[in-house]
Structure 1
Amino acid sequence: MEIKVLSVVCLCITSCVKGDLFTKATRSKALEAEKDVRNSVYDFIIVGGGTAGCVLANRLSANPEWKVLVLEAGEEENIDYDIPGIPTKDLRPILWNYRTERNGFSCLSRPGGSCEVRTGKVLGGSSVVNDMKYTRGSRKDYDAWHSNGEIGSLEWKFENLVEHFKHSEDNGDYDILMNSFYHSRGGEMHVQRFKYMDRHMEQFLGAFAEMGFRSIDINTNAPEAAVNNQFVISNNTRLSTNTAFLKPVRHRKNLVVKTGATVTKLIIDHQEKAVDGVLYEIEKGKEQLAYAKKDTILTAGAINNVRLLHLSGIGPKEELSKHNISVFLDLPVGSSYQDQVTIGGLAFSIGDVAIDENQIIEDFKTWFQNRGGPLASKGINQISAFIQLFENKNGPNVELALEGNYIRSDKFMLTNVSVHTAEESSLPLPYYNLVNINPVLLKPKSKGKVTLNKRNPKYGRPVIQANLLKETEDLDALVDSVDIALQLLNTKELKKAEIKIAPLDLFPCDRLQNRDQWNCIARHYTKALGNPIGTCRMGGNKTNSVVNYDLKVHGIERLRIIDASIMPTHVRGNIFAPTVMIAEKGSKIMNKDWKENKGNFL
């Protein structure tokens, strides 16, 4: 392919020189054109410098014979995002601020009747804006990705994936590290608990213990636990995949990283049925070319991967025809969309807490000077309980995630606080007098789809029909977990601390009672967690999957997808650790494939 592109330029240059038909300026331009083409040819192109993209860039560029290009639509990460105590859910400049479509069964009282879906638009992707929590899920989650009769899927059983989790792990808690089957040291990604603990964190852990929840490592396939979580941090500083994997190798001469670069289309050779490269824009409307001799790898996430594939003619025939896009491959790209979900409306008041703003300023100084103090923590957000709602399931269904917020006490005395006010972060996380209890549905049943924007397919926001809580089983699980959360108020620990339910304004559900009220609250105050998966799911055939077990797109050569969008189902935790694992495994697959096949496609 490289020869195919260069031969045209070389032919022009030869004829110019032999016939002396053109001026020196023209010959100079021709030579510059050849140079530009040569500089636009790489071995691998990574579309998306997010969680998975940064890991892949590190692993692939480790071979000095391979030239790697990373194209990221966002900008560079900066130090503002490094402070653990700073809430990241409102960092809009570095987020893809997408919204779900309105429906009749979720997000009813959210602005516009839809839920926000926030994923990272920055070098490092969602690892820059997530909660940093390190949870892998359970063995049975990964074993369910295995399909009987599919030999390739055996490699995705949990026992074969542990090594890929451990490869990048550097666990700093010795009580957890003692279990050497699950954990290791020496990788790029440092994992550790925060050392800072306040009295409220201890009270809630004590309350969970009263209810029978043990404090054990949730990453060892434990069915239930109440934990002070581990986070991906280094020296009490956020450790994104950009910081851990990409920054240390940016000096490599064979690695090129371009930010502010939006990929708009795949260059497809229809005769060879292969991807030659990509079109991308640094400036809107001005497209540039980049060619890949080996693989083009999509790591842009479960939403943006769909837009790029659909614009390139890869997707469901009936969807592409709506936009007059000629179909190259009829694949179920965009279907099976899933996101983990929680609800607002359940909050506990921990009494009047005096906040000294001057002390907060001093705490910022302390963090910048020695990475210490309250801001070197996430406050009550460090605590969560993983709950198994149904017996014999051998894994949690729901995580009760605690989230602190500060509400001025006069608001409690004057009027009820709205759910939206209770959720808005007004101060850094370690300063709070309100604890939101967010029951997170870890294994949702409801599925939706992602399609192109009807008015502006190329630049408009993709249409996300998330269908959150469409399945009644999802709603029942959330309401069941609310009942468990309310039992915390009956524990000796919280009674002694005089922690009570907060008087939130629950309109339009305020006149309902008991389970009917919580069904209503769940429908109205739904929250999408921004952990989307499934739109490019992995499987054995192109009827119900997009990539095979080697992460190659069905029916086309030199195109792979390596990020959370290939996950067939959610795991019982967040998607950060599994995404890093998928990138580690994907890089090993490619290393094996291309070292065995040393010839390049011409």
Structure 2
Amino acid sequence: MLFNIRRPSKSIVFLACLALVNGDLYSRATKSKLEGKKIKNSVYDFIIVGGGTAGCVLANRLSAVPEWKILVLEAGEEENIDYDIPGVPSKDFRPIVWNYRTERNGYSCLSRPGGSCEVRTGKVLGGSSVINDMKYTRGSKKDYDAWHQNGQIGSLDWKFENLIEYFKMSEDNGDYDVLMNSFYHARGGEMHVQRFKYTDRYMEVFLGAFTELGLRAIDINTNVAEAVVNNQFTIANNTRLSTNNAFLKPVRHRKNLSVKTSVTVTKIIIDPNEKTVEGVLYEVDKGKEESAFAKREIILTGGAINNVKLLHLSGIGPKDELKKFNITSYVDLPVGLNYQDQVTSGGLAFSLGEVPAVSETEVIEDFKSWFENRSGPLASRGINQISAFIQLFENKIAPDVELVLEGNYVRSDKFMLANISVQSAEETHLPLPYYNLVNIHPVLLKPKSKGKVTLNKKNPKYGRPVIQANLLKETEDLNALVDSIDIVLQLLNTTEMKRAEIKMAPIDIFPCDRLQNRDQWNCIVRHYTKALSNPIGTCRMGYNSTHSVVTHNLRVHGLERLRIMDASIMPTHIRGGIYAATMMIAEKGSKMILNDWKESKSSYFEN
């Protein structure tokens, strides 16, 4: 039997860990064959905690080595085809979502339910790649290069010029005009990227209006500062392509790959003397725990919120914080600090006038079209396909805000929209391609405000983590959003918008209705704040354990054989969604692991 033990003395420690987890079952000198088999079946080379965006990529890459035995543990269920219809916003499917909320504060989300904002991440194989908007935006070169300022990382490996190969590694770009730029784009990877072929009248109107404001239609992934974009999406045959569908499903047949769903990892098993990670405990049913052990490494890919919870429960985090919960501290690290999420606001919407009514029969027929041949309006995201990237601050050569367009169908008599609440304007009543109202959300791509994540005070093990997001705490963030709203309002003066008779929608903006001009928009943004559910930073990468959690090789400071490989390691936000960047991190991380272990043949002790 093989155990991952570097020194002969560690075999005693490892067996002691087994004994602690399973009583005296495995500490007996004369184990039965059944007991021996159970131990053998619970030992793997690598354990991936979280089968989400990054976890599926890692499972594919690591299981490609036939001698390695890989285990993926995912709290969610298998992905359903219903989630793959582009025109249906799957973030509303509650069973596949971690539905977290931020804590109340005095400067954001004031008129949202409970005075807090929702943070929704994916709880399903494929993670947030199953519920996100599928947009393929990488961020700016300036974002990645900035991570190296003041030597914060201690390595140049994460400069953009050294990362582009990992973006391209999994990319299969299907738009030839984009693919012509071979420095930025590639074909042949697992993740197919393409624009939707479906367009409608109002997409053309808004594209034209932004062009009138001086924005060029150009690929945003080529490090440009401003652009109006008919976005590329991670789709194949007009179907959502999650990392589960792209990376994991095609290799599920591999005999060395095990995937367990509907299980929650509750603790990382640590040898306190050697400061080495040995395995994990996970629950199949509430209260029923099983164990798994890693001969080589454990890799966390649970995201910026769930990683924090698991690490804290395992004794890895701020010592003073863990002390509040009577948790023994093994490594004192700033886990949970540096929380960042992109932020936007509701309350800014345009009405499209007399849009033909949408009948139930029409929608049913469109669903049939999609299921039968992947065609029709549902093989698109309507006006949501359009966005504009704008630069507010000079000399940055990178966008500061993305103007995200979101269509919605609001039912009202004769389509005369009147006194619509912000909530009604945002609620999804029909699939995305059917809309008579367009919300424009100015997304602050690189916010200054930072927060933290801690354990639930009443129920640390099963309760939702406490997210003190501090959205809009920094006045600079508020000012940037309001500045971008001023730009959006200029659309109303364009020829395209006037010709289409598009006007401001009469949104009920209480309690801001008595204010005027900038004071009113300041009020609206603070009251109707929205978190983008792109959390990062809680396990940030850096060169020392005072200000960071992992090294530039993604190893947790002060512990052996534990790495983190998802968006939680990002020191600061990038100017785009975190989907493409998370895949890149997983690609780069898997290459690190392959390089570290492919030459090693003496990493475990044979017993």
Is 2:537–2:570's contact at 8 Å kept on the other side of the alignment? Answer: yes
Residue correspondence of structure 1 range 298-317 to structure 2 within 5 A:
298-317=300-319
Take 2:42 and 2:134, find their aligned partners in 1: how far apart are those partners? Answer: 36
Is 2:354–2:415's contact at 8 Å kept on the other side of the alignment? Answer: no
**Partner of residue 7, structure 2:** none
Alpha-carbon deviation of 1:413? 4.6
Residue correspondence of structure 1 range 171-250 to structure 2 within 5 A:
171-250=173-252
Unaligned runs of 5+ in 2: 5-10
**Partner of residue 446, structure 1:** 449
Secondary structure in 1 matching 2:259: strand
Take 2:153 and 2:104, find their aligned partners in 1: how far apart are those partners? Answer: 41
**Partner of residue 562, structure 2:** 559
Q: Does 2:74 match 1:80?
A: no
**Partner of residue 550, structure 1:** 553
Take 2:58 and 2:45, find their aligned partners in 1: how far apart are those partners? Answer: 13
Secondary structure in 2 matching 1:264: strand
Is 2:339–2:451's contact at 8 Å kept on the other side of the alignment? Answer: yes
- Give the TM-score taking structure 1 as reference length: 0.96
The one of 589, 596, 606 equivalent to 1:593 is 596
Q: Does 2:497 match 1:505?
A: no
Deviations 1:294-351 (A, max 9, x none): 0000000000000000001110011101101111111000000000011000000001
Take 2:417 and 2:350, find their aligned partners in 1: how far apart are those partners? Answer: 18
**Partner of residue 24, structure 1:** none
Alpha-carbon deviation of 1:89? 2.5
Q: Which amino acid aligns with 2:530?
A: K
Secondary structure in 2 matching 1:97: strand
Is 1:313–1:320's contact at 8 Å kept on the other side of the alignment? Answer: yes
Alpha-carbon deviation of 1:147? 4.4
The one of 421, 432, 435 equivalent to 2:435 is 432
Secondary structure in 2 matching 1:435: strand
Is 2:103–2:466's contact at 8 Å kept on the other side of the alignment? Answer: yes
Q: Does 2:434 match 1:398?
A: no
Secondary structure in 1 matching 2:588: helix
**Partner of residue 579, structure 2:** 576
Take 1:77 and 1:331, find their aligned partners in 2: how far apart are those partners? Answer: 35
The one of 470, 473, 480 equivalent to 1:470 is 473
Is 2:402–2:444's contact at 8 Å kept on the other side of the alignment? Answer: yes
Alpha-carbon deviation of 1:153? 2.0
Alpha-carbon deviation of 1:357? 2.2
Alpha-carbon deviation of 1:356? 2.6
Alpha-carbon deviation of 1:109? 0.3
**Partner of residue 112, structure 1:** 114
Q: Which amino acid aligns with 2:75?
A: A
Alpha-carbon deviation of 1:430? 0.2
**Partner of residue 40, structure 1:** 42
Is 2:26–2:35's contact at 8 Å kept on the other side of the alignment? Answer: no
Q: Which amino acid aligns with 1:275?
A: V
Take 1:37 and 1:525, find their aligned partners in 2: how far apart are those partners? Answer: 53
**Partner of residue 131, structure 2:** 129
Q: Which amino acid aligns with 1:575?
A: I
Instruction: List structure 1 runs of 4+ shifted beyond 3 angstroms.
Output: 1-16, 147-152, 411-415
Is 1:147–1:153's contact at 8 Å kept on the other side of the alignment? Answer: no
Unaligned runs of 5+ in 1: 17-26
Q: Does 2:426 match 1:423?
A: yes
Q: Which amino acid aligns with 1:245?
A: F
Is 1:6–1:37's contact at 8 Å kept on the other side of the alignment? Answer: no
Deviations 1:405-427 (A, max 9, x none): 00113296584110000000000
Q: Which amino acid aligns with 2:306?
A: N
Take 1:268 and 1:140, find their aligned partners in 2: how far apart are those partners? Answer: 38
Secondary structure in 2 matching 1:295: strand
Alpha-carbon deviation of 1:596? 2.8
Is 1:412–1:503's contact at 8 Å kept on the other side of the alignment? Answer: no
Is 1:46–1:69's contact at 8 Å kept on the other side of the alignment? Answer: yes
Take 1:458 and 1:464, find their aligned partners in 2: how far apart are those partners? Answer: 15
Alpha-carbon deviation of 1:149? 4.8
**Partner of residue 457, structure 1:** 460
Alpha-carbon deviation of 1:128? 0.1
Secondary structure in 1 matching 2:236: coil
Is 2:171–2:191's contact at 8 Å kept on the other side of the alignment? Answer: yes
**Partner of residue 333, structure 1:** 335
Take 1:276 and 1:184, find their aligned partners in 2: how far apart are those partners? Answer: 39
**Partner of residue 264, structure 2:** 262
Alpha-carbon deviation of 1:168? 0.2
Structure 1 residues 250, 222: closer, same or farther in 2, change over 3 A? Answer: same
Take 1:527 and 1:403, find their aligned partners in 2: how far apart are those partners? Answer: 14
Q: Does 2:543 match 1:540?
A: yes
Take 2:53 and 2:441, find their aligned partners in 1: how far apart are those partners? Answer: 25
Alpha-carbon deviation of 1:352? 1.9
Is 1:74–1:261's contact at 8 Å kept on the other side of the alignment? Answer: yes
Take 1:167 and 1:249, find their aligned partners in 2: how far apart are those partners? Answer: 17
**Partner of residue 373, structure 2:** 370
Take 1:152 and 1:255, find their aligned partners in 2: how far apart are those partners? Answer: 34
Alpha-carbon deviation of 1:31? 1.4
Take 1:451 and 1:164, find their aligned partners in 2: how far apart are those partners? Answer: 32
Deviations 1:259-295 (A, max 9, x none): 0110000000111110001000011101101000100
Q: Which amino acid aligns with 1:140?
A: K
Alpha-carbon deviation of 1:597? 2.5
Take 1:12 and 1:295, find their aligned partners in 2: how far apart are those partners? Answer: 22
Q: Which amino acid aligns with 2:594?
A: N
Alpha-carbon deviation of 1:390? 1.3
Structure 1 residues 356, 318: closer, same or farther in 2, change over 3 A? Answer: same
Structure 1 residues 444, 95: closer, same or farther in 2, change over 3 A? Answer: same
Q: Does 2:494 match 1:491?
A: yes
Alpha-carbon deviation of 1:524? 0.3
Structure 1 residues 150, 129: closer, same or farther in 2, change over 3 A? Answer: closer
Structure 1 residues 559, 492: closer, same or farther in 2, change over 3 A? Answer: same
Secondary structure in 2 matching 1:527: strand
**Partner of residue 63, structure 2:** 61
Take 2:27 and 2:354, find their aligned partners in 1: how far apart are those partners? Answer: 79
Q: Which amino acid aligns with 1:535?
A: T
Is 1:74–1:123's contact at 8 Å kept on the other side of the alignment? Answer: yes
Take 1:561 and 1:586, find their aligned partners in 2: how far apart are those partners? Answer: 9
